[in-house]
Structure 1
């Protein structure tokens, strides 16, 4: 009889551990919006890059990033509007490793000939892929690393590739 009771007790204990849920953190509960600023572009270049991201569920999100060049003498990119979709590959709510597909409507300087006198800004559209990682604190602050590249599909110009790079900080609310 003791052996039967011991087996029943061990079975009940195993079931109770199997039903134990992962802890829910405050940043996962009813928080579906994020705002971010790319600090890498602020420090390394003359761009202001801000993003909004809407969390669909624990595995995916979509968002919009807007980049503006504050000094067109230093860089060829004038502005960019980049919508994106992300797919997360971790067991936690919309964080960890992700793959992103994006489109970018941008304006960049195009040089004609060998002289810089014949320059003008052209509008282009690029499609691309990025990879990255997102880290979220218990208070909802986010840090994100991102690296990607896209290809200009509109016309043949000197600005054929479209880079997407960033180290962003933000807040989930």
Structure 2
């Protein structure tokens, strides 16, 4: 009887300890995902959506996708896919000021040729695909309901085909709204 009682008390103490651990980690284990929409890009005739997965209180991995739908407003960039890593400095879980490092697979129009006599612009060659690397910083605020507001800016350099286009750098600007979920 004493062995069974000792075994049950040990089992109960482990389950009590596990329950205490789960209560303290409830905030961190329940909100590991975030999806957001950039509110600036429609002004440029484009659409950008992002997904972020939180690794812990201070870091996350994410990916964003940008695509132009109105070529008359944005005639250089076609689309990009950009994975990133962020480190947060805020006191709350994955919020406050952050820094990010990113990569970007991008499609940009080729070099432009201007014909002054006919006042025409031609694109030399086809779209240029390139990889860019860069860094940025930003700020994130989360409400108790899980609504997220984010502002960020990032700068990067094209790595391989910058000589085939009129650009050698990329800039990411964001003013986003999103939602955090399990």
- Fold agreement, TM-score > 0.5: yes
Of 127, 137, 159, 1:131 maps to 137
Q: Does 1:70 align with 2:69?
A: yes
- Distance in 1, matches of 2:169 and 2:54, equals 28
Q: SS where residue 40 of structure 2 aligns? A: helix
Q: Does 1:103 align with 2:111?
A: no
> What are structure 2's unaligned runs of at least 5 residues?
1-23, 116-120
Q: Deviation per CA, 1:12-42: give whole Å up to 9, x if none.
A: xxxxxxxxxxxx8x86551100000001112
Instruction: Note if contact 2:109-2:123 (Cα within 8 Å) is conserved in structure 1.
Output: no
- Distance in 2, matches of 1:128 and 1:81, equals 13
Deviation at 1:91, TM superposition (A): 1.7
Instruction: Note if contact 1:28-1:93 (Cα within 8 Å) is conserved in structure 2.
Output: yes
What is the match of residue 52 of structure 1? 51
- Distance in 2, matches of 1:118 and 1:40, equals 27
Deviation at 1:122, TM superposition (A): 0.8
Q: TM-score, normalised by structure 2?
A: 0.77
Deviation at 1:130, TM superposition (A): 0.7
- Distance in 1, matches of 2:138 and 2:173, equals 9
- Distance in 1, matches of 2:65 and 2:104, equals 10
Deviation at 1:154, TM superposition (A): 1.3
- Distance in 1, matches of 2:29 and 2:40, equals 29
- Distance in 2, matches of 1:167 and 1:106, equals 21
> What are structure 1's unaligned runs of at least 5 residues?
1-23
What is the match of residue 171 of structure 1? 179
Instruction: Note if contact 1:86-1:98 (Cα within 8 Å) is conserved in structure 2.
Output: yes
- Distance in 2, matches of 1:50 and 1:59, equals 22
Q: Which moved more, 1:70-79 or 1:54-63?
A: 70-79
What is the match of residue 169 of structure 2? 161
Q: TM-score, normalised by structure 1?
A: 0.80
Of 118, 127, 136, 2:123 maps to 118
- Bigger share in helix: 2
Provide closer, same or farther for how the CA distance between residues 118 and 165 of structure 1 changes in structure 2, counting only shifts above 3 A: closer
Aligned residues: 149
- Distance in 2, matches of 1:51 and 1:160, equals 24
